[in-house]
Structure 1
Amino acid sequence: MTPRANGSRAEEQRQRILTAAVGVFSRRGYRATSMNDVAAGVGLSKPTLYHYVATKQDLLVQVYERVLDESLASARAIVAAAADPLEAVRGLIVDRVAYTCEHRDLLKICFEEESELPPELAEPILARRRAYEAVVLEAVEAQVAASGADLGMATKVYVNTCLGAANWVYKWFDRTGALTPRELGEQVARVQLAMLAG
């Protein structure tokens, strides 16, 4: 077997472990979950699990990194492809709502387990979050400049309000309901964009 094949298989196993950890963390909570629980969730022995991941905390960090890296890449792509700033903001809101609905277990961990991260691990994650928020803020500022819209609040407050509404759907979105994640995103965006039209 080639080294590349070995590397690919190891990465596949790490992704399986992370997926199992997300499921267990989401159901039981981070603090109540043991590495034995994660090992059982992925069907590995505990010694084999430790071959791929050093600590439970490492798994929690990987959850945050995955969500924020995916979100940042998607946000940058949406802005780059948008015909104008308003379309960029609309796309960002729709995407945030849809992603949150489609990855509720991941987002539940991110929103409810942040206090479990020590400062030295939290800071790089916060830097990723700030980078994502900066993309949204720049798009909103571009739309305000283009339209002359009066938000009646600081632009950053508006952005935090939009993201707060989009993120909170992890608490109440009903997969069996009438709306798909993207349809819900379109409705949320329609309400939030009314202030930006100018």
Structure 2
Amino acid sequence: MATRGTGAGSAIGSRADEQRQRILDAAVAVFSRRGYGAASMNDVAAQVGLSKPTLYHYVRTKQDLLVAVYEEVLDESLRSAREIVAGAPTTREAVRALIVERVRYTCEHRDLLTICFHEESALPEELAAPILERRREFERVVRDAVEAHLHETGRTLPMALGVYVNTCLGAANWTYKWFDPAGPRSARELGEDVAGVLLGILDG
């Protein structure tokens, strides 16, 4: 995120933010290709085209980069989910759009999601706790949207609400493993397909 302000200080801040984003993008490429455990800061520096001392000017540790990856995914997911719910014309559309967007984001950022789903155990408890809270907040947005639709329509689910929400998120998230960018369906079209199946349960 660019630093706000005007003049030279703002320009310097903006350049630093751009450099940090380039480093984060390089870390994503390296971690998803080699695995977090096998990757080194030398690998990240080489990927972004910086010397190791210059890299350490922007980021202290490899662990900090891993935390930044999680924060980027979860902050973007939470922001998007809140905007979807706030702008949806109906409660059903809110649920549908949340599922579609989750599939789209997962399929279009498979390198990010590969890291998030595989490297959580590398985070120490004190760093994992705020990340897990972000994830729970995202899940609450989805759960609240489903619950609002059920309340509005008087419908009931053939399973517990939490089971349904986890089924929706599990189906959406797992697409990172098998989505084919060269296949016949785009990420958004696949999202529409997945949402259609899951809404069939909600509407039944």
Q: Provide the rounded CA distance (Å) in 1 between the counterparts of 2:89 and 2:161.
A: 21
> What residue number does 2:112 align with?
106
The question of 1:42 aligning with 2:57 is answered no
The question of 1:150 aligning with 2:169 is answered no
Q: Provide the rounded CA distance (Å) in 2 between the counterparts of 1:32 and 1:26.
A: 11
Structure 2 residue runs of 5 or longer lacking an equivalent are: 1-6
Q: CA offsets, 1:144-185, max 9 Å, x none?
A: 112222211110110001000000000000000000000000
The question of 1:92 aligning with 2:98 is answered yes
2:84 to 51, 74, 78: 78
> What residue number does 2:75 align with?
69
> What residue number does 2:183 align with?
177
Aligned residue identity for 2:79 = A
Choose 146-155 or 27-36, whichever is displaced more. 146-155
What's the % identity of the aligned pairs?
71
* 1:61 Cα deviation after fit: 0.2
SS in 2 for 1:196: helix
Aligned residue identity for 1:140 = V
Aligned residue identity for 2:58 = Y
SS in 2 for 1:132: helix
Aligned residue identity for 1:14 = R
SS in 1 for 2:203: coil
> What residue number does 2:30 align with?
24
* 1:74 Cα deviation after fit: 0.3
Aligned residue identity for 1:77 = E
Matched-pair contact (CA < 8 Å) for 1:78–1:91: yes
Q: CA offsets, 1:64-91, max 9 Å, x none?
A: 0000000000000000111111100000
Aligned residue identity for 1:122 = A
Number of aligned pairs?
198
The question of 1:54 aligning with 2:63 is answered no
> What residue number does 1:130 align with?
136
Choose 147-156 or 46-55, whichever is displaced more. 147-156
Q: Provide the rounded CA distance (Å) in 2 between the counterparts of 1:149 and 1:33.
A: 49
Q: Provide the rounded CA distance (Å) in 2 between the counterparts of 1:122 and 1:188.
A: 30
Q: CA offsets, 1:76-135, max 9 Å, x none?
A: 000011111110000000000000000000000000000000000000001100110000
> What residue number does 2:4 align with?
none
Matched-pair contact (CA < 8 Å) for 1:147–1:196: no
Choose 138-147 or 185-194, whichever is displaced more. 138-147
Matched-pair contact (CA < 8 Å) for 1:147–1:197: no
